[in-house]
Structure 1
């Protein structure tokens, strides 16, 4: 291998520090940024990466893994004997059915396709069911195969350009719904394929809302993969496209606000506090301009969600005290969606753990589990907190974390 080539995490016996440096560089994060987000000095990061300091203890390793969005802990530690998935959850039993529907071509189907209006009505029912359900992936896994096949057929059998555009708009939204099911499951290639198909369908539809939703989900996927520059570029381009259209329709305004909030999360994950809160301010303006009581069924964007977004910004910036203050100021009970409420509880738990309140963090994760078990089971941040607290020196914390670990399926052989 050439001397200037990047070592392969999977082929070379690399030390912890080397792995950390490779993963940090791939994320485009400088040592000072990583140090600041870890509460360490840049010299400490440099010493770790050079091997002058050995691998830190588990809590610090887990926080590094979270910061660098390490999918499997062995990618960072090099220990392949006991791989631990952090940001990839278990495969849902209905994953094969959804995968088969995505892969189907519907070339030889002779039945009459449903209208775009019919698909749109089923989509509205599916979104509502998802928000009500504690086990929302089970609900989506049951509905998606039929929706995907029917929406594909609607586009194939469209007779006019207008019908085809309408079909592409609902097909794009079906793919958006599928991304909520596929996120953090062990088939990343399928998730990206669905995201790309949704983006193409949205562009073919020429529908501003469909294009905005596809862009928002693309930003989420890029950020979760650590592609921060791509997430920022997509958000900026989509917001530019929607700039003259956001006043025309609350749905378009809501997706623009969601894109602004998401841009804030991306900036926060890069350690850019000023930019992060600036984006939050812009999203707050959008939320306040929405009709009273409006709640977007796809992104959950609304006035009710802005407190939750503030918690996430503070947590991503690793500002423990500020994140706890934001958690205290937010009101999860105003969030009507069970999975979104559970996600907010997880963000609150991250805040409390950052602030050194481990017991409160575990209690908050228990509340997340009560709201939507299938949200917390697939959430890498929750899994990291639970795993860390199973190593706590306080017996009560270890016991509480062990119960959660069993509920989340983390103790399975």
Structure 2
């Protein structure tokens, strides 16, 4: 199979799926003549977006379609490769809604199926399984875009827009963690636009935090701070706004993300003001919850206090804040949140010169959510610092983790 031209491979797999050229063409939205020319090699097949659509229809890995063996890597060790980045970029570059203006989308995904897929994607992210998520995202993006394009301006249409907005947010969050900041910004910007069509101010509020986080990752701290605070003020509970747990959670997270941006600028007074505002919202909420996938509450607020201290170079304060956290509440948080906090603590310990404790935090984080430590560029920086400052040979667990991360000793 590897030596066959790509058109012949398409014909082979189409035959294996017992699909006629006409049926295949209809599902792809192309003419039978187009399919015939592709399979005979008269026409080139070199667009990523079309390759992935064909792979979806034929229900096979895109690597098989292009004549390569699909990689079977453990998700614990898998981060993201250029093929996956290109697949996600191709999915983000689609404009199904514009195409649907001219032609109806054939066989759009069912809303119920999309809802289940999006919920699964959120759990995959919040459990820190980034390799699994990045492999699933291209198809999920295409399906969500197709559903959004297919359904009208009724309740189903608004839910389709809501689901697409969520998929864009998931994409933005995982891309930012893996260092693909420009794509993370693009996905977050799309999320904000779609959220407005979904008619959900709180969804738009959470999308705001994704945009701001992408800006922060690109070094644009001041715009990130201003954006978070401006939308938080508009969504603040009270007055004409309700005081629902969902609103308190979204409002609180906007303040927390604003505090992180302010910490990056070194503005300690603004950091304290925003954290105090978030503390009030957390107290009114009364416990940690995952409304709108925020994981917002008193415990997550302490995690952000520690993270803000690290951003301002005060590792000692970050460690003190950690020691004040109630462990049962901390252990009840989702793995991504806990592992992220371990990474922040590792940075804090490194700031105060305790590289042994810093290494222990990385190890704890890797046990909670391996990809959060092994795949994030900031974790690689911390590990490099630990290895550089360790006298003699590092402990075997640290050396093993460094090897898994691809960080040289």
For normalisation by structure 2, the TM-score amounts to: 0.71
Larger radius of gyration between Structure 1 and Structure 2:
2
Aligned to 2:213: 220
Choose which of 197, 201, 213 in structure 1 pairs with 2:190.
197
Choose which of 220, 225, 236 in structure 2 pairs with 1:243.
236
1:325 maps to 2:320: yes
Aligned to 1:390: 387
Relative contact order higher in (CA < 8 Å, ≥ 6 apart): 1
Deviation track 1:123-150 (CA, whole Å, cap 9, x = no partner) reads 2232123333x5x112312432232122
1:170 maps to 2:163: yes
Gaps of 5+ in 1: 1-88
Compute the displacement of 1:266 (Å): 1.3
Compute the displacement of 1:181 (Å): 2.4
1 CA distance for matches of 2:183 and 2:340?
Answer: 23
Choose which of 82, 86, 104 in structure 1 pairs with 2:94.
104
1 CA distance for matches of 2:370 and 2:259?
Answer: 27
Q: For residue 217 of structure 1, give the secondary structure of its aligned residue in structure 2.
A: helix
For normalisation by structure 1, the TM-score amounts to: 0.70
Aligned to 1:154: 147
Choose which of 253, 257, 271 in structure 1 pairs with 2:252.
257
2 CA distance for matches of 1:153 and 1:214?
Answer: 20
2 CA distance for matches of 1:101 and 1:291?
Answer: 40
Greater helix share, structure number: 2
Choose which of 316, 331, 340 in structure 2 pairs with 1:343.
340
Gaps of 5+ in 2: 1-78
2 CA distance for matches of 1:241 and 1:221?
Answer: 21
Aligned to 1:356: 353
Compute the displacement of 1:176 (Å): 0.3
Q: For residue 114 of structure 1, give the secondary structure of its aligned residue in structure 2.
A: coil
Compute the displacement of 1:320 (Å): 2.7
Change (3 A) 1:156 1:122: same
Aligned to 2:405: 408
2 CA distance for matches of 1:290 and 1:139?
Answer: 33
Aligned-residue RMSD, C-alpha? 2.6
Q: Is the 8 A contact 1:362 1:400 kept in 2?
A: no
Count of residue correspondences: 322
Compute the displacement of 1:254 (Å): 0.8
Compute the displacement of 1:202 (Å): 1.3
